[in-house]
Amino acid sequence: MDLKSRIDTAVREAIRLGQDGAAPAKLAAALEYATTPGGARIRPTILVSVAMACGDDAPGVTDAAAAALELMHCASLVHDDLPCFDDADTRRGKPSVHRAFSEPLAVLAGDSLIMLAFEMLARSAVHDPMRSAQLVLTLARQSGMPGGICAGQGWESEEKIDMRAYHRSKTGALFVAATQMGAAAAGQDPEPWAELGDRIGEAFQVADDLRDAVFDEATLGKPVGQDDRHGRPNAVAELGIEGATQRYHDILSGAIASIPSCPGEAMLAQMVNMQARKLTPATAASRA
Amino acid sequence: MDLKSRIDTAVREAIRLGQDGAAPAKLAAALEYATTPGGARIRPTILVSVAMACGDDAPGVTDAAAAALELMHCASLVHDDLPCFDDADTRRGKPSVHRAFSEPLAVLAGDSLIMLAFEMLARSAVHDPMRSAQLVLTLARQSGMPGGICAGQGWESEEKIDMRAYHRSKTGALFVAATQMGAAAAGQDPEPWAELGDRIGEAFQVADDLRDAVFDEATLGKPVGQDDRHGRPNAVAELGIEGATQRYHDILSGAIASIPSCPGEAMLAQMVNMQARKLTPATAASRA
């Protein structure tokens, strides 16, 4: 099974768990709507790639971790799109969850996806309870307070923003979760893997700023110019398109250099490069 | 340390974890606001009582479980109070979180409390990883879809409500979590403890209906008549105050009869009775 099918299968199985038995039909449908068809599934792709680079000796644990991370990411998108945050009408080229269903169902779908993420990780304890606990710990920390994606979103309610903490938690946290959970799923110490996730997160943020600046709404499938509208910081505004593109490539080189020694180190470096090419807008890449 | 202090200490320690380091200040404050001063802390009180009845041989695990369950309950209150659900201005006699802070911070506070709940359980793996995993599994299932509190709230978006599933998930789920997590924290099989939680949940729902019917807003510290306004089912509307009071006492007898055999069985029966007296409105009790 290729990487994409492996991840999609794991996500689908998790959603089916949440729809089992006498579930309320609309919320059950909203769970599926919020997770399919997926976006690039970039976070679980990184997670599984790191696990494979570390030997992937408990594939059931890796699958659970990949599904959990993607569900958490989808939950954050559903909540971020809510009227009280980005008030986004569209996401991935279709109406956002609160537009397609309702605001109550969007809040509940996000909450339910979070619960399902942790349920998947708890279920993986049949393979290895210590790895399961490590995965729960990592996902919870990178998702909540004081340094996870909730904290990142929380910074937007402050008058004075700690820019480093803001970027690291808002965008970086789930990439750190990706590399650390990949290592943990394969029984490795997650700590040395934080830097790789951190740098991929930085690169992703810059790529996002570049896409926002270069593409129009139709291509992106979501409203553009959100950063400007909310007064958020932006690498393109700071450095211009060429400067931001240069920074993007510098960060990626650092990311690859930071990969801890492991059996699949070379393969992993290749994967990071490949994912990076997918992220860079063609126009920006050609200017670099 | 008495039960209440033990629980309050565990909750406070969990919140402090979420406020550590460079956390955004308002969201950090919202976490504390949403959890202190606590309400009756009835769910973690049941949890710790069950754990003690089962021997409480890993008190660190029990404390983590109690904090996690209370955090999850508080998260559900914060989200339930949001404008798109109950639109409640007050909770526990003070402004609801979205009124005191903002709607974005209320959504994020709820999300962050959920993450912290699972983080606490993951941290308890240093004592016993299998118990930790069992606790994560139980809390996730009783909180999410298809049968947890998210599902319960989700039923309110359906045209045709499965009343049994609605009540069981909306109110009962976290009581089932309380008894099952108490047993799991003490290393016992959680399954036989589901019925006790289920019956306490039923009793609680009827007591809530009675309080809503008997008390005024000032006494309750939250708007009354919410059930009627949203067309939700109600034991008092169905049976009258005396009938509902009789049902309340019948359910409690069943609850006590269902307690699985364990060293602290008699003590636990006493605790259930004591908690029950706290719940029944005096006027309703005097009519029984």
Specify the CATH number of the domain B3-287: 1.10.600.10
Q: Check if the beta carbon of residue A54 is closer than 8 Å to that of residue A262.
A: yes
C-alpha distances out from residue B136 to A97, B47, B132, B180, Å:
27, 14, 6, 11
Which whole number is the average pLDDT over B109-123? 98
Express each pLDDT in A216-271 by its tens digit: 555 656 555 555 545 566 888 889 989 999 999 999 999 999 999 999 999 999 98
pLDDT band at B287 (very low <50, low <70, confident <90, very high): very low
Report d(CA A170, CA A167) in Å as an integer.
5
Q: What are the sequence ranges of the domains in chain B?
A: 3-287
Report d(CA A262, CA A56) in Å as an integer.
12
Interior CA angle at A241 toward A238 and A243, to 5°? 65
User: If you count residue pairs, one on A and one on B, with CB atoms under 8 Å apart, how many are there?
Assistant: 215
Report d(CA A99, CA A109) in Å as an integer.
13
Give the chain A residue whose CA is nearest to the CA of B148: A112
Give the chain B residue whose CA is nearest to the CA of A101: B157
Q: Check if the beta carbon of residue A110 is closer than 8 Å to that of residue B112.
A: no
- Scan for tokens 């320690």, then name that residue: B13
CA gyration radius for chain A? 18
Compute the mean pLDDT over every residue in chain A, rounded to the nearest whole number. 91
> pLDDT at residue B213 above 80?
yes
Q: Check if the beta carbon of residue A114 is closer than 8 Å to that of residue B139.
A: no
Residue B26 and residue A157: Cβ atoms within 8 Å?
yes
pLDDT band at A287 (very low <50, low <70, confident <90, very high): very low
Give the chain B residue whose CA is nearest to the CA of A135: B122
Picking from A87, A111, A143 by the largest number of B CB atoms within 10 A of its own CB, the best residue to mutate is A111
Residue of A20, A115, A153 lying closest to B150 (CB–CB): A115
Q: Check if the beta carbon of residue A185 is closer than 8 Å to that of residue A139.
A: no
Express each pLDDT in B63-91 by its tens digit: 999 999 999 999 999 999 999 999 999 99
Angle between helices A59-80 and A3-19 (to 10 degrees): 70
Picking from A86, A150, A156 by the largest number of B CB atoms within 10 A of its own CB, the best residue to mutate is A150
Residues in a beta bridge with B90:
B95
- Scan for tokens 């003490």, then name that residue: B186
Residue A23 and residue B145: Cβ atoms within 8 Å?
yes
| pLDDT at res. B163 | 83
C-alpha distances out from residue B226 to B81, B276, B284, Å:
11, 23, 20
Express each pLDDT in A32-53 by its tens digit: 999 999 888 999 999 999 999 9
Residue of B21, B84, B145 lying closest to A31 (CB–CB): B145
Give the chain A residue whose CA is nearest to the CA of B14: A145
Express each pLDDT in B129-148 by its tens digit: 999 999 999 999 999 999 99
- State the smallest CA–CA distance between residue B18 and chain A in angstroms: 5
| pLDDT at res. B164 | 83
**Chain A residues touching residue B144 (CB < 8 angstroms):** 18, 111-112, 114-116, 119
A281 vs A227 pLDDT, higher one: A281
Give the chain A residue whose CA is nearest to the CA of B75: A111
Picking from A120, A138, A145 by the largest number of B CB atoms within 10 A of its own CB, the best residue to mutate is A145
| pLDDT at res. A127 | 95
Report d(CA A130, CA A110) in Å as an integer.
27
Residues in a beta bridge with B122:
none
Residue ranges with strand state E in A201-246? none
- State the smallest CA–CA distance between residue B167 and chain A in angstroms: 12
**ipTM higher than the 0.85 cut:** yes
Express each pLDDT in A87-116 by its tens digit: 999 999 999 999 999 999 999 999 999 999
pLDDT > 90: what percent of chain A?
74
B94-95 vs A94-95, strand pairing mode:
unpaired
Report d(CA B282, CA B277) in Å as an integer.
9
Amino acid symbol at B258: S
Residue B133 and residue A132: Cβ atoms within 8 Å?
yes
**Chain A residues touching residue B105 (CB < 8 angstroms):** 154, 157
- Scan for tokens 């009581």, then name that residue: B175
Count other Cβ atoms within 10 Å, centred on residue B108: 32
Alpha carbon A273 to its chain's center: 17
Angle between helices A173-185 and A129-143 (to 10 degrees): 180
pLDDT > 90: what percent of chain B?
74
**Chain B residues touching residue A115 (CB < 8 angstroms):** 114, 140-141, 143-145, 148, 150
Residue of B137, B156, B165 lying closest to A122 (CB–CB): B137
Residue B145 and residue A22: Cβ atoms within 8 Å?
no
| pLDDT at res. B219 | 61
Residue of B23, B102, B143 lying closest to A115 (CB–CB): B143
Residue of A129, A143, A151 lying closest to B129 (CB–CB): A129
Express each pLDDT in B236-262 by its tens digit: 888 998 999 999 999 999 999 999 999
Residue B130 and residue A125: Cβ atoms within 8 Å?
yes
Residue B110 and residue A111: Cβ atoms within 8 Å?
yes
**Chain B residues touching residue A136 (CB < 8 angstroms):** 118-119, 121-122, 132, 136
Which whole number is the average pLDDT over B31-48? 94
**Chain B residues touching residue A158 (CB < 8 angstroms):** 24-26
Percent helix, strand and coil across chain A, each to the nearest 5: 75, 0, 25
**Chain A residues touching residue B25 (CB < 8 angstroms):** 158
In DSSP notation, B58-121 reads -HHHHHHHHHHHHHHHHHHHHHHTSTTTT--SEETTEE-HHHHS-HHHHHHHHHHHHHHHHHHH
Q: pTM higher than 0.95 for the full model?
A: no
Q: What are B186's two structure tokens?
A: 């003490």
**Chain B residues touching residue A154 (CB < 8 angstroms):** 23-24, 26-27, 105, 108, 112
